[in-house]
Amino acid sequence: MSRIIESSLPNRNRRRWLLGSGCLAAAGLIGLTRKSQAAGGKLRVGMTPAFLHDQHSMLGEWRAFMAASLQRPVEFVQRDSYRETMDLLRLEKLEFAWICDYPYLHLKDAVRLLAVPLYQGRPHYRSYLIVRKGDTQTRSIADLSDAVFAYADPYSNTGYLAPRYEIRQLGRDPAGFFRKTFFTWSHRKVVEAVASGLAQGGAVDSYIWDTLAHVEPTLTARTRVVWRSPEYGFPPFVAHRSVASADFQLMQRHLLDTARSEAGRRLLGLLHLDGFTIGSPALYEGVARMMRSFGEA
């Protein structure tokens, strides 16, 4: 971080001298710097545990496909928690990112909605409440009171916000509902935690659980989906607000066109997605409502 500030200082000073001072102007200047830096330059895309981001060969293929299509160098920046990717976005170290809907709402002042993946033809997904295969008693989250529970990530909707909201709906305090909770920092690891018996229950992204059921059926076979949440807007691709509109449109067009090419369809097949749509912030109203109930946003 310090390296970037240093390198941008001369520029910044010059422009400050030209345009006068002011917080707003400075912010605009940083954006300007970013834009000029990004123009024809490298595009950095943050990848989060919103999907199975540990399929490295698929990621490599996707990055190459994207770079070839955009005719720009593309870098995928992987972080193991939403928090880190969110920080990178805030620090403008990323132009684009695929994040969960919950962080999107957190960052909605800093980012713009770029595109929403289509899962099973629709830009929606759910939260699954899973238990171990052998557990035949549990019917809802209410039965898991006093259990050890695995959350995915504190900034995950389906892996944290949704189950807590559900507990809140039961009239209980999520903070004391379970005997113990912990974060696995990935949906996939929630499935592992429940499958191995470390946790008696877990909340997981429906898209990831369903994909895992294809990719690693032996793992999901050791778990059972107890409860399905209502639909939420699918984790979106976002662009930092400072991204030049040309780049924004370039990337948006690329994503929307993915399903049109053979290579793109192949990639979408690997991702278990059907394509991308422009989407609308209104998709995320349900999440926003839950956040409001916790006094967030």
* Interacting residue ranges for other proteins, rule: CB under 8 A: 148, 150, 179-180, 182-185, 189, 193, 196-199
CA separation for the pair 283, 73 (Å, rounded)? 31
Least distance (Å) from other proteins to the CB of residue 186? 9
Q: Closest approach of Cβ 19 to other proteins, in Å?
A: 45
- What's the min distance (Å) between Cβ of 182 and other proteins? 3
Minimum Å gap between C-beta 153 and other proteins is 11
Cβ proximity to other proteins, 81 vs 157, nearer residue? 81
Question: What span, in angstroms and rounded, lies between the C-alpha atoms of 46 and 236?
Answer: 12
For 156, list phi and psi in degrees, rounded to 5.
Answer: -100, 135
DSSP 222: T
Considering the complex, state which of residue 149 and residue 284 has its C-beta at the smaller distance from other proteins: 149
Cβ-based nearer residue to other proteins, 135 or 247: 135
Which residue has 């979106």 as its token pair? 236
| Residue with Cβ nearer other proteins (47 or 150) | 150
The β-bridge partners of 116 are 277
Asked if 82 and 153 count as a contact pair (C-beta separation under 8 A), the reply is yes
Q: In angstroms, what is the minimal distance from the CB of 7 to other proteins?
A: 33
Rank residues 182 and 248 by Cβ distance to other proteins and give the closer one: 182
Q: Which is nearer to other proteins, 52 or 288 (CB)?
A: 52
What residues contact residue 15 under an 8 Å CB cut-off, 6+ apart?
Answer: 29, 32, 33
Give me the least distance between CB of 20 and other proteins, in Å please: 46
CA distance 68 to 52: 23
Amino acid type, 215: V
Amino acid identity of residue 125, one-letter, is Y
In the complex with other proteins, the residue whose CB is nearer, 118 or 203, is: 203
> Which segments of 119-258 are extended strands (E)?
124-125, 127-132, 148-151, 180-183, 201-205, 223-228, 232-233, 237-240
Query: Structure tokens of 63?
Result: 């990055």
| Least distance to other proteins, CB of residue 83, Å | 14
